[in-house]
Structure 1
Amino acid sequence: MTTFLTFTLLGLVLGAVYAIAASGLVLTYNTSGIFNFAHGAQAMLGTFLYWQLAHGWGWPVWLALVVVVGVVGPAMGAALHAVIMKGLRDTADVTRIVVTVAIMLGMVFLSQWLWHPEEARVVEMFFGADAKVEFLGVVVRVHEIICLLVAAAIAVGLRMLFTRSRVGVVMRGTVDDPDLIRLNGHNPDRVAALSWAMGSTLAVLAGILITPIGGGALEANALTLLVIDAFAAAMFGRLRSIPRTFAGAMVLGLAATYVTAYFPTDWTWAGNLRVSLPMIILFVVLVLLPQDRLRGAAVRTRERYRVPTVRRAAVWGVALVAAVVLLMPLMEDTSITTFGLGMTFAIIALSLTLLTGYAGELNLAPLAFGAVATIVAFHFGITGTGLAARLTLWGILLAVLVAAVVGGLVALPALRLRGLYLALATMAFGVFLSNMVLRDTVEHTLFGVTFSLFPNGALIVPPLQLGPLDLRDPGTLLISATALFAAIAVGLVALRGSGYGRRLAAMKDSPAATAMLGQDLVRLKFGVFMLSAAIAGLGGVLMSTAAGSVSGENFAIMAGLSLVMLTVVGGIGYVSGALFGGLMSGVGFVIIIGTFNDLARATPEMATIYQTLGQVVLVATALIGMGVGKNPSGLVHDLFDGYRTLRGARPVLAGGAAAGAVLYLLALTGVIGNWWFAILTALLVMTLPALGRALMPRAVLTEEELARRRSVPPELAGIDEPYTDELRDRLDQELGLPAREGRGGPHARPAVEEGDVHAIA
């Protein structure tokens, strides 16, 4: 009985902290309609700051709490709303999700910069671990009692806020109809800012309370995911009901402690199950709870994508392969290997283009399907041993097939989910796979066969050899991965233009209208999920062969979220957006950190400056994702729009091509270094549209843009720009004078000389 009471109390304490964190999610979602994936990162950042004040600098605990919970927490939430969140109206679900994911990643990078991960930091319990009381034979620590009392007070306070106060009613109405709230004399932005401040405060408080209970040193990713476990409790209340959210949190906490207490000790997977349990419960809750009815596209979002023709996509695919072949002589072997790894990530990102860009379905764990395919290829697709080991073609095909089947199995219970619910379901699957499967390093015996899913915590996947094609060579791997990316990309463009692709686009635009036209939404979702998982599985196997050896960290949920974010930043509706996202995710971070570390080692006197710059660039990469709200169509869309205007300015295009060729020859002959070549080429590509507008405005700009450019205020005529016939005509029109002869008809007056203009003025 004592054991039962002890673990029940521990479960209630853990559930209380989950409830505090989940109530902050419910609060912000109810007032802004945005599910804050950065909630755990806010808790993590606040906890690190609390440690710095209370333990690093020796401040009194009460003062550190007042500063962090009372000042920093609300300020962080209000700042997020003012700078980012209020600009996310009329954007698609994927844009809202990616912005908060970018904030989460930026906060993780920031904490790892300010507090080095290799230094151990421990947050102590309030009044110390020795402050205890005994109740019914169970020893309870004072910190745990505080957690229960704080959770109860917050539950009562939020319930009264939403049901008994005018502010709470306004908060609930803000997300449904802000215009109506504004007509009644309230400011919805101010109300939403208040709710974000309160939600951030609750997140920070939950992080400070839960860290001493879990024990161990502070770690950014672990603490972020620990608070993310509260997502299950928030969904139990369907992001609306505070009482149901608290009930779900208690179920979550009790289930976790009972697994620890009563599962047999010889079950080697019990520990992994306990860690995975919140995500299992989240998935089950999402599947079982009733969903909203299908809705048409009541509000048009700001995302716009232009799908190229198959012929144009094929031309660009050939150009991509040719560009890689030309760049290879400039790269060292290590750079070629790294570049090849990035191309495999780009193949995985193509699965997001199909699933999210074309069909509007969300998947936050694309790397999970790559992990499934890698495990299958490792166990069933390798022939030979040692240095003679090779991955077989049949092994790759089997791995891709199994990944597609797993994608279908994951999609099957989630077919009725849409938008945010589907994103959370795929995230739950990704975290479950990381915690339950990729950590399974022990041996099992089933039907007389002994096996281990992830032996020794790492899988060594040899490269494929198919006749003369041997991917052990880095150059061959890079060209093969690039050609495969181009082929899949052209295939996706062709699919988008087919009848099946148009049905996917219709489902994305309006599921209700698609269903009314007789389309089977279940079959469409099931098919596109399987095809997307197959592409991700293929990219995952190639990524594993490019890396040589992979661990669970290669497929972690944070890496998958980073890939999703960067693909959306590039343009989720473009195959070139997948290229951008894959290269940045697979290569960009490695190059950034490696380059600045090399500079730091080369010049020890400036090591601190270079290391700081590397961290700043890393955080800035996440800041790019936060800007998706202002540019939801992606960077590729803007770049393509700029180059479309250059069709009439062929001399500018020819000059740009010539400049690129000169830079390539200079790099090939060693006159400039590879980094200078990369930087100058990137600048040329980005600035060429602006040069076209400046050098050949009549060929590039539309008539409307030219008119706006000519619209100089009359009082600045002859000052900001020289006199021209067009400017003189506009001055005549502003002054009410008749048009001049030869330009305005037979009754036009003689031309006005400059002296006459000055006299008139």
Structure 2
Amino acid sequence: MDTFVTFTILGLVLGAVYAIAASGLVLTYSTSGIFNFAHGAQAMLGAFFYWQLRYGWNLPAPIALLLALGVLGPLMGLALYFLIMRGLRDTAEVTKIVVTVSIMLGMLFLSQWFWHPEEPRTLRMFFGDDAKFSLLGATVHVHEVICLVAAIAIAVGLRLLFTRTRMGATMRGVVDDPDLLRLNGHNPERIAGFSWALSSMLAVLAGILVTPISGGTLEANLLTLLVIDAFAAAMFGRLRSIPRTFVGAIVLGLAGTYLLGYGPSTWTWTSNLRVSLPMIALFVVLIVLPQDRLRGAAVRTRERYHVPSVRKAVTWGAALVVIVYLIRLLMVESAITTLTIGMCFAIVALSLTVLTGYAGEMNLAPLSFGAVATIVVYHFGISGSGLAQRLTIVGVLLGVLVAALVGGLVALPALRLRGLYLALATMAFGVFLSNMVLRDTTEHELFGVKFSLFTGGSLVIPPLQIGPLDLGNETTFLMTATVLFAILGVAVVALRNSGYGRRLAAMKDSPAASAMLGQNLVKLKLSVFMISAGIAGLGGILMSSAMGAVSGDSFTIIISLSLLMLTVVAGIGYVSGALFGGVMAGVGFSIIMVSFTNLAKAQPELEGLYLLLGNIAAVSPALIGIGVGHNPSGSVHQVIEGYRKLRDAKPVLIGGAAFVAVLYLLALTGVLGNWWFASLTIVTVFALPVVGEMLMPTAVLGAEEVARRRTTPPELVGIDEPYTQEGRDCLDRELGLPSVPVVPATSASPSSPAQATTGSGSESRSETESVKELTVNAVS
């Protein structure tokens, strides 16, 4: 009985914290239509801030709590909404997800910047660990009672707010019809900002309450993922109902503790299952709950992608292979493997281009399919022993096939899901795989066969060998990965230009219209999921082989989200976007941070500056991801549009190419360092369209656009420049007045009928000028 009461109380307390966190998610989604993936990171940041106030600066607990909940929480929510979230209107679901994911990653890096992860920090319970009493034979801490009371009070308060107050009605109306809300005298922006402030305060409260219960140690990644478990409770209430959210959170808390307390002792994976239980519940809830009906009209967003022809794709693929080989000539041996890993990440990112960029389907865990393929090749695709071990082509194909089948199995129950629900389902799969499979290091026995899935917690993956082609050589591995990416990129472009690709695009624009035209959406979704999972599996195998040995941390959901974020930032609808996103996620920013660290060691007098720049570089991917709301088509799209304008400015293109060639020769001969070569080349690539517009404006912009830019706007005539005939004619056109030709005066008084007519015309014109000047003065 004592055991039952103990686990029941622990489950109720854990469920109460889930309820507090989930209530904040419901609050923001119901008022802005944005699911905040950064909710857990807000909780983490609030817990660290409270620790700093309470234990770092020794402030009294009430004051520290007041500052954390009353100042940091609301300010964080207001800043997020007014600076970022309200600019996400008319963007695709993937853009909204990526922005909140970027905020989450930014907060993680920010916490590691201010609070070094190697320094231990502990939060103690309110009133201390000794503040406890006995209830039915079980020990109950005062902190746990506070959690329960706070959760109940918040649930009741939010329920009354939504159903019994005018503010609650306006909060629900922000998403339903903000224009109608304005007509009734309300400010939708202010109401949504209030909701985000309240939600952020609830997230901070959840982080402060849950940390002592989960062990007290502050660790950024664990605390962020712990609050992510509240996603299942929020979805139990379908992001609308506070009571159902509260019930779902309590059920989750009780189920987890009962499983830990009463699971069979022979189950070696009980603890892993308990950690995975919220994600299992999230997946089941998403499948069971009724979904919204298909929309009959296409959803117009601001994303625009230009798909190249297959011929152009082949040309650019060949150019990529040549460029990588030329870069290889500049690199030291130790850097070749680093670039190879980046190319393997690019292959994984290519799976997102097919699935999300072309078909509009979501996958937040692409590296999980790479993990599946890696496990398969480790057990069934290695030949030889010792240093002579090599991957076999049969094993690689088997791993890709199994990854594709697993992708189909994951997609099969999720076929009825769309948008956010599908994204959460794939995220649940990724977290479940990390917690259940990648942590399974114990030995099992099935039908007399002993095995372990993730043997020893680390898998050693040797390089691939196909006849004379041995990827044990670093240069051979790099060029093979590059050629594979080029081939897959051309195949992806050919797929998009085929009838199958056009069906995918139609499904992305309007599933209902696509179904009405006779398309089988089930087959389309299932097939594109399997294709995407197969590509991700191939990239995962090559990545694991390039690393040599991988652990469960190599495939975490955080890395998958980072890869998705950078691919969307680059342009998820482009093969080149996958290339940029994959390389930057795999090695790009880590190289930059290591470079600043080495510079700090080499120049101690500037150590502070270099460490600051390194921390800024660590946060920069998140800052770039946050800005994707202003450019949802991606940076590649922006660069492509800039170079499209240079088609008639051949001297600028030739000059830019010659300048890069000179830089390369200087770097090849050792005159210019590789760091300076890379920096100057990147600046040249991005600055060339601007330089072309400055040097050859007519060729780049066109004569009409140049004339338009040089013409003073009508409202500035007479202000920025004096009145001229051209200015007067411009005002005539803008005001809709008839243009009157200028007739020079020949005498003071008319002496003939013709002169009399001219005189009346001049008189009429002076009246027109008077009217015009009055109009200009009025406008001014």
Specify the TM-score bucket, using the shorter chain as the normaliser.
over 0.9
Residue 311 of structure 1 corresponds to which residue in structure 2?
A: 311
Following superposition, the deviation at residue 216 of structure 1 comes to 4.4
Partner of residue 516, structure 1: 516
Alignment of 1:334-349 (within 5 A): 334-349=334-349
1:172 offset after TM fit, Å? 0.7
Question: Once the 2 structures are TM-superposed, how far is the Cα of residue 609 of structure 1 from its aligned partner?
Answer: 2.4
Deviations 1:455-489 (A, max 9, x none): 11111100001122111111111111111001001
Confirm whether residue 358 of structure 1 aligns to residue 361 of structure 2: no
User: Residue 248 of structure 2 corresponds to which residue in structure 1?
Assistant: 248
| 2:375 corresponds to | 375
What is the percent sequence identity of the aligned residues?
70
Contact preservation (8 Å) 1:463, 1:545: yes
Q: Give deviations 1:135-189, integer Å, cap 9, x for gaps.
A: 2222110000000000010011000000000000111111111111111111111
Partner of 1:221: 221
Shift of 1:731: 6.8
User: Could you say which residue in structure 1 is the equivalent of 2:576?
Assistant: 576
* 1:156-167 matches, cutoff 5 A: 156-167=156-167
CA distance, structure 2, for counterparts of residue 549 and residue 224 of structure 1: 27
Query: What residue in structure 2 maps to residue 587 of structure 1?
Result: 587
Residue matched to 2:122: 122
Q: Where do 4+ consecutive residues of structure 1 move more than 4 Å?
A: 713-721, 727-741
Distance in 1 of aligned mates of 2:198 and 2:699: 54
Q: Is this contact kept in 1: 2:299–2:509, CA < 8 A?
A: no
Give the residue type in structure 1 aligned to 2:10: L
The 5 A counterparts of 1:14-29 are 14-29=14-29
1:612 CA displacement: 1.9
- Alpha-carbon offset, residue 351 of structure 1: 0.3
**Aligned residue identity for 1:39:** H
Contact 2:25 2:39 in 1 (8 A): yes
Residue 550 of structure 2: SS of its match in structure 1?
strand
Identify if the C-alpha distance between structure 1 residues 349 and 739 changes in structure 2 by more than 3 Å, giving closer, same or farther: farther
* Letter of the structure 1 residue corresponding to residue 435 of structure 2: N
Question: C-alpha separation between the residues in 1 aligned to 2:511 and 2:685?
Answer: 39
Match of 1:611 in 2: 611
Q: Report how far residue 717 of structure 1 moved.
A: 9.8
CA distance, structure 2, for counterparts of residue 21 and residue 717 of structure 1: 57
Please tell me the residue identity of whatever aligns with 2:468: P
Q: Does structure 2 retain, via aligned residues, the 8 Å contact 1:714–1:731?
A: no
Corresponding residue for residue 184 of structure 1:
184
Q: Per the alignment, do residues 302 and 265 of structure 1 end up closer, same or farther by CA in structure 2, a change over 3 Å counting?
A: same
Partner of 2:534: 534
Matched residue type, 1:330: L
Matches of 1:661 and 1:671, distance apart in 2: 14
Alpha-carbon distance between aligned partners in 2 of 1:352 and 1:684, rounded to the nearest angstrom: 29
Corresponding position: 1:489 with 2:489:
yes
The alpha carbon displacement at 1:607 in A equals 2.3
- What is the identity, as a one-letter code, of the residue corresponding to 1:62? P
Matches within 5 A, 1:142-157: 142-157=142-157
Paired with 1:422 and 1:106, the residues of 2 have a C-alpha distance of 24
C-alpha separation between the residues in 1 aligned to 2:232 and 2:636? 36
Partner of 2:291: 291
Alignment of 1:96-111 (within 5 A): 96-111=96-111
1:589 CA displacement: 2.4
The aligned amino acid for 1:264 is P
Distance 2:137 2:14 in 1: 20
Are 1:708 and 2:697 an aligned pair? no
Q: Find out whether 1:261 has 2:261 as its counterpart.
A: yes
Please list every run of 5 or more consecutive structure 2 residues that lacks an aligned counterpart in the other structure: 733-738, 745-780
Distance in 2, Cα, partners of 1:740 & 1:144: 92
Partner of 1:754: none
What amino acid maps onto 2:415 in structure 1?
A: L
Aligned mates of 1:702, 1:26 — CA distance in 2: 51
> Which amino acid in structure 1 is aligned with residue 420 of structure 2?
L
User: Which TM-score applies when normalising by structure 2?
Assistant: 0.93
Shift of 1:621: 1.8
AA of the residue aligned to 1:615: N
Map 1:594-743 onto structure 2 (within 5 A). Answer: 594-712=594-712, 738=741
SS of the residue corresponding to residue 413 of structure 2 reads helix
- Once residues 719 and 139 of structure 1 are traced to their aligned partners in structure 2, the CA distance between those partners, rounded to angstroms, is 79
1:349-402 CA-to-partner distances (Å, cap 9, x unmatched) read 000000000000000000000000000011100001110000000000000000
Task: Answer yes or no: is the 8 Å Cα contact 1:732–1:739 preserved in 2.
Answer: no
1:499-548 per-position Cα deviation (integer Å, ceiling 9, x unaligned): 11011000000011111111111111000000000000000000001111
State the one-letter code of the partner of 2:97.
I
Alpha-carbon RMSD: 2.0
What is the CA-CA distance between 1:613 and the residue it aligns to?
1.2
Q: Is the 8 A contact 2:589 2:617 kept in 1?
A: no
Residues 3-32 of structure 1 deviation map (CA, whole Å, 9 limit, x = unaligned): 111111110000000000000000000000
Distance in 2, matches of 1:728 and 1:696, equals: 28
Q: State the partner residue of 1:567.
A: 567
Matching residue of 1:392: 392
Following superposition of structure 1 onto structure 2, how do residues 364-443 of structure 1 map, counting pairs within 5 Å? 364-443=364-443
Q: Deviations over 1:579-624 (max 9, x none)?
A: 0110110011220221111111212232232122101111122110
Aligned to 2:646, the other structure's residue is in SS state helix
Report if the CA contact (8 A) 2:461-2:549 is conserved.
yes
CA distance in 1, matches of 2:222, 2:743: 76
The residue type equivalent to 1:56 in the other structure is G
- In structure 2, the residue matched to 1:751 is none
Are the equivalent residues in 1 in contact too, given 2:437–2:453 (CA < 8 A)?
yes
Q: For residue 413 of structure 1, give the secondary structure of its aligned residue in structure 2.
A: coil
Alignment check: 8 A CA contact 1:123 1:212 kept: yes
Q: Which amino acid aligns with 2:579?
A: L
Q: Using the alignment, how far apart are the partners of 2:243 and 2:699 within structure 1?
A: 64
The 1:272–1:704 alpha-carbon spacing in structure 2 relative to 1, beyond 3 Å, is farther
Cα 1:470–1:180 change in 2 (3 A) is same
Q: Matched residues in 1 for 2:169 and 2:324: separation?
A: 59
Partner of 1:8: 8
Number of the residue aligned with 2:771: none
Counterparts in 2 of 1:506 and 1:299: CA distance versus 1, 3 Å: closer
C-alpha distance 485-2 of structure 1, shift in aligned 2 (>3 A): same
How far off its partner does 1:740 sit?
12
1: CA distance, partners of 2:606 / 2:297 = 55
Secondary structure of the structure 1 residue equivalent to 2:577: helix
Contact kept in structure 1, 2:46 and 2:207, CA below 8 Å = yes
> Do the aligned residues in 1 keep the contact of 2:459 with 2:550 (CA within 8 Å)?
yes
- Please state how far the C-alpha of 1:310 moved relative to its aligned partner: 0.5
| Deviation (angstroms), 1:657 | 0.8
Amino acid in the other structure paired with 1:511: P
Q: Distance in 1 between matches of 2:654 and 2:302?
A: 34
Amino acid corresponding to residue 12 of structure 1 in structure 2: L
> How far did 1:651 drift?
0.7
Count of matched residue pairs: 740
Could you tell me which amino acid in structure 2 is paired with residue 451 of structure 1?
F
1:322 is matched with which residue? 322
Shift of 1:266: 2.7
Highest CA radius of gyration, 1 or 2? 2
Matched ranges for 1:493-504 at <5 A: 493-504=493-504
Q: Which residue of 2 aligns with 1:750?
A: none
Partner SS, residue 416 of structure 1: coil
What SS does the aligned partner of 2:133 have? strand
In the alignment, is the contact (CA less than 8 A) between 1:732 and 1:738 conserved in 2? no
Deviation at 1:703, TM superposition (A): 4.6
Map 1:544-559 to 2 at 5 A.
Answer: 544-559=544-559
Q: In 2, distance between residues paired with 1:739 and 1:530?
A: 74
The structural deviation recorded for 1:707 is 3.1
